[in-house]
Chain A
Amino acid sequence: MFAKTTTLKNASGLHARPASEFVAQAKLFESRVCLRNLDKPDAAPINAKSIVRVLAEGIPTGTKMEISAEGADEREAVEKLIALVESGIGEG
């Protein structure tokens, strides 16, 4: 298991277009990938490969999030996704 944290920069949160891009990227990896909203005390990790889960989570701008992965390519998955979020997911 490998995990890293980052902050969401996108002005309107993780919705529609950025969510789609994020999920599409997550799906490229073999490992199980999860996302957790660290600003919500009891938040459970959610499946980052499910667009409806990610949208339902409703992550607003400025949220501290943890991206974790479990599997053969777990390091690569986390690094790539963190980089994506830090670049503003197409809205930077």
Chain B
Amino acid sequence: MRIFRGTPVSPGIAEGNVYLYQAFSCDVFESYVPEGREQEAFQAYQAAVHTADAELVAIIHSFAETDADKAKIFSAHREILDDEEIADEIRTAILDESKSADFAVDSVFTAFATLLSKAGDALIAARAADIRDVRNRVVRILHGEAEKNLSRLGAPAIVVAHDLLPSDTATLDKKNVLAIITEVGGTTSHSAILARSYGIPAILGVPEATNALPDGAYAAVDAITGEVYLEPDESSLQLLHQKRDAFAEDMQDASRYLAAEGRLADGTRIEIGLNIGSANDAGALRNCDFIGLFRTEFLYMQTDFLPDEEDQFEAYRRVLADAAGKPVTLRTLDIGGDKTLPGLSMPHEENPFLGNRALRLCLTHRDLFYTQLRAALRASVYGNLWLMFPMVGTLDDIRAAKEAVGEAQRQLESRGIPYDPKVRVGIMIEIPSIAIIADRAAQECDFASVGTNDLCQYLHAADRMNPQTEAYYQSFSPAMFRTLKLIFEAFAAAGKPVSVCGELAGNPQAAPALAGLGLRKFSMNASAVASVKRALSHFTLEQCRTIADQVCRQDTEADVKALLSNPFPI
């Protein structure tokens, strides 16, 4: 038995077989077939295309029931596979130029992908990624390798990888993933957030995990304290089973609070919201008052091409309709930083977290932005839409974003398509520059939601993805709470609602302090709802205010945490 340690980012205990996930890397080298062997190479190519098509048909079939959108992507891939110009050029490359099958496939597909990526229209340029995807599939088959991805695991497994990109996890086979272990990342990595929202135990930042944990080996994961046991012995297993049972009991206890309204001990009403990352996650909404964060990136990451207005409209309409009148806070495209898009090629930035991302990216890629805004506005007639912009740093940003909304409205009007003119338009507060002038911001928007993950990162100048700066990324620092106080008070004074949708709102330990600072709207993952409601129910407003006041006077995060772990010592 060997034990490895990492950062526990999503609690739970699991055991099972390791599935070592390594994305296929498909290098192809310039090579030619010896004279007389061209027919053979051509036949190998044709056989590979045949196999590729069969794979795609199987995938389409497996998604047909559950996810029509994903099925469509792979149908588009079949079209590309069947393209007669590509086929003609490959035929020429092999039979006339004696290129080897994989070299011919690579040359021709790459040439077309490049051609497409130069198209002026971003939506079309994005299709280059589809062509590359099909090329990878055919080359992989020519190289004799089996398909490997996380969307169909076949059997329950503990997924071990170097890293899981948003595009990997967007198609994750939730049912079969027992736990997630990666070599890099931390509490606020995308994969951590995803693991928490799905209730999958996860430990990130386990160095050497892909070397140390062999594919198929038996392992146990303690994602409460952060240990991975390779081939656990009997006594360790026994302890883990006890821990697992205690954890399940605690979750059971918390669940008593699940269906209740959010209230403090004295009855003060606290609205509890849900953060969702897809159109399918809103099941837990019956225990919540609103959707405080509807992340829209999934629409852009599940596929290799950019979603068009129709795709987006459908997804947004569904969520709004299912919410049956409860507010749905739709956040416009928030990519950059650790979230890149397979469908959009973006120039390399040294410092993506400080770069052209989210709203800034949308303002430089107007067609992308207007498409999303039109889709959202069209959907607004089906429910209670609150539109929210990420990465707002100045009033200029707010004004530019609102202008874009106006333009999208005009575009719809000219097509005779209705939208709700009373849609609320608000901002994420995550950049300190807007937090400090929250009073001015509150005059120019209808509401705000605090993204504490990025706010903490920018405030503390600590990369939330870098295990080496984990100690500096302090979400419980006195500075964080004072900043939050500033924001909450500014919005209260302006009579505008403010919520927190960052991970801090889902942390029961922070709940009384946040309520005491004036927060009345907490939005979080489904898995946090019960424990936050439970935590809030233990304190009166008076007590919350006392806690908040004391927290703001502490010197260090450690002092704050000590205070919060025992706020009213007997």
B85 touches A52 (CB 8 A): yes
B83 touches A56 (CB 8 A): no
B83 touches A52 (CB 8 A): yes
Contacts of A12 in B (CB 8 A): 121, 123, 308-309, 371
A51 touches B79 (CB 8 A): yes
Given contacts A15-B308, A16-B127, contact A53 B79 (CB under 8 A): no
Distance in Å: Cβ of A56 to nearest Cβ of chain B: 5
A50 touches B124 (CB 8 A): no
- A4 to B308 Cα, complex, angstroms: 29
Q: Does A62 reach chain B (CB closer than 8 Å)? A: no
B79 touches A20 (CB 8 A): yes
Given contacts A20-B79, A23-B79, A51-B80, contact A56 B310 (CB under 8 A): no
- A8 to B85 Cα, complex, angstroms: 24
B interface residues, how many (CB within 8 angstroms)? 23
- A12 to B310 Cα, complex, angstroms: 11
B79 touches A58 (CB 8 A): no
B131 touches A52 (CB 8 A): yes
Contacts of A5 in B (CB 8 A): none
Given contacts A20-B76, A47-B84, A49-B84, contact A56 B308 (CB under 8 A): no
Q: Does B23 reach chain A (CB closer than 8 Å)? A: no
Chain B window 100-123, contacts with chain A (Cβ cutoff 8 Å), 1 for yes, 0 for no: 000000000000100110011101
Q: Does A13 reach chain B (CB closer than 8 Å)? A: yes
Among A16, A52, A91, the residue within 8 A (CB) of B123 is: A16
A11 touches B116 (CB 8 A): no
Interface size bucket, A side? 20 to 34
Contacts of A15 in B (CB 8 A): 121, 123-124, 308
Distance in Å: Cβ of A52 to nearest Cβ of chain B: 5
Chain B window 297-337, contacts with chain A (Cβ cutoff 8 Å), 1 for yes, 0 for no: 00000000100111000000000000000000000000000
Q: Does B270 reach chain A (CB closer than 8 Å)? A: no
Contacts of B84 in A (CB 8 A): 47, 49-50
Contacts of A49 in B (CB 8 A): 84
Contacts of B415 in A (CB 8 A): 11
Distance in Å: Cβ of B286 to nearest Cβ of chain A: 35
Q: Which residue of A lies closest to B306 (CB)?
A: A16
Chain A window 52-92, contacts with chain B (Cβ cutoff 8 Å), 1 for yes, 0 for no: 11011010100000000000000000000000000000010
Among B112, B121, B305, B308, the residue within 8 A (CB) of A52 is: B112
Q: Which of B80, B83, B115, B371 has the most CB of A within 10 A?
A: B83
B85 touches A47 (CB 8 A): yes
Given contacts A11-B415, A16-B127, A56-B119, contact A50 B85 (CB under 8 A): yes
Residue pairs across A and B with Cβ atoms less than 8 A apart, 18 shown, are A11-B309, A15-B123, A16-B123, A16-B127, A16-B305, A17-B310, A47-B84, A50-B84, A51-B83, A52-B80, A52-B85, A52-B115, A53-B85, A55-B116, A56-B116, A58-B120, A58-B124, A60-B121
Given contacts A16-B308, A50-B84, contact A55 B124 (CB under 8 A): yes
* B binding-site residues for A, Cβ under 8 Å: 76, 79-80, 83-86, 112, 115-116, 119-121, 123-124, 127, 131, 305, 308-310, 371, 415
- A15 to B119 Cα, complex, angstroms: 11
- A53 to B127 Cα, complex, angstroms: 12
For window 35-51 of A, CB contacts with B under 8 Å fall at 47, 49-51
Contacts of A11 in B (CB 8 A): 309, 415
Contacts of B76 in A (CB 8 A): 16, 20
Q: Which 5 A-B pairs have the closest CB atoms?
A: A50-B85, A58-B119, A56-B115, A52-B112, A51-B79
- A88 to B223 Cα, complex, angstroms: 54
Contacts of B127 in A (CB 8 A): 16, 55
Distance in Å: Cβ of B127 to nearest Cβ of chain A: 6
Contacts of B80 in A (CB 8 A): 51-52
- A86 to B570 Cα, complex, angstroms: 79
- A52 to B82 Cα, complex, angstroms: 10
- A17 to B120 Cα, complex, angstroms: 18
Contacts of B305 in A (CB 8 A): 16
Contacts of A47 in B (CB 8 A): 84-85
Contacts of B83 in A (CB 8 A): 50-52
Contacts of B124 in A (CB 8 A): 13, 15-16, 55-56, 58
A13 touches B116 (CB 8 A): no
Contacts of A55 in B (CB 8 A): 116, 119, 124, 127
B121 touches A13 (CB 8 A): yes
Contacts of A53 in B (CB 8 A): 85
- A20 to B305 Cα, complex, angstroms: 14
Q: Which of B85, B116, B305 has the most CB of A within 10 A?
A: B85
Contacts of B115 in A (CB 8 A): 52, 56
Contacts of A23 in B (CB 8 A): 79
